[in-house]
Structure 1
């Protein structure tokens, strides 16, 4: 049975510490993800691991539909930053039946999130399809800098 995510003060402190390393570019494939709060309109920032495949990029929700997922769905836009660089993206939610390979690659890269998945890194992509509804995936499409997040 996969682990359930529970937000906590410790998690917020951990995210702040990880954020320092991410901003310095010391953690590969991890960026600071910024979404616009759907209720407050304020920018909210969290560390996020990105799956890259050539020219394509995906953002995976390892802990389920948490706040940034709802915000990305509402606005359709996110930004990623690292090492002083910021890129804006259109966030297109991928249908669950297309997420198997992305989720498999994600658990290979984001080792700390493996307990939140029932399938393992050695399973075929089809093993991830039954849990795709618990881990939304967004394809990230670059936007020009003047289109705001």
Structure 2
């Protein structure tokens, strides 16, 4: 598998307990550290696909980062270019812009700083205080999108 195609599938606990619990709370209006339910149209089926994500607010902008790599939501968002972020009954329609690897460096550092306990294991041993070159080296493994207004 090429580096750019890397994806680390969630284990049983994450799939069966953690993600459903976070999604349930978020769907009912309780955002945990910025959690949202991301809804994106499937690139083949056109059906809505949902997954819990962490919305990072950094330097006056908002980002979605995939700590596990190039999963289905990433592929769907690339194809659709737009989606919805949901918390309870609030739905925000957005468009996205994928970041270049160089643009990802400060965003990945901020993401790792905020969610190190939850997502640190997926960053190849890189810590928030690592140098830019370490983040640049892992950037291809972690797609990141800027969340933009839909208008």
What TM-score do the two structures reach when normalised by structure 1? 0.86
Q: In structure 2, what is the Cα distance between the partners aligned to 1:12 and 1:40?
A: 22
Counterpart mapping for 1:1-149 below 5 A: 5-7=8-10, 10-14=13-17, 15-23=19-27, 24-111=29-116, 112-118=118-124, 119-144=126-151
> 1-side partners of 2:64 and 2:141: how far apart?
14
Structure 1: gaps of 5 or more residues: 145-149
Q: Quick one: distance in 2 between partners of 1:36 and 1:100?
A: 28
Q: When the two structures are aligned, how many residues end up with a matched partner? A: 141
SS state at 1:99 partner: helix
What is the TM-score of this pair, normalised by structure 2? 0.85
Could you tell me how far apart the structure 1 residues matched to 2:12 and 2:42 are? 20
* Misfit runs of 4+, over 4 Å: 7-10
| Contact 1:104–1:124 (Cα < 8 Å) also in 2 | no
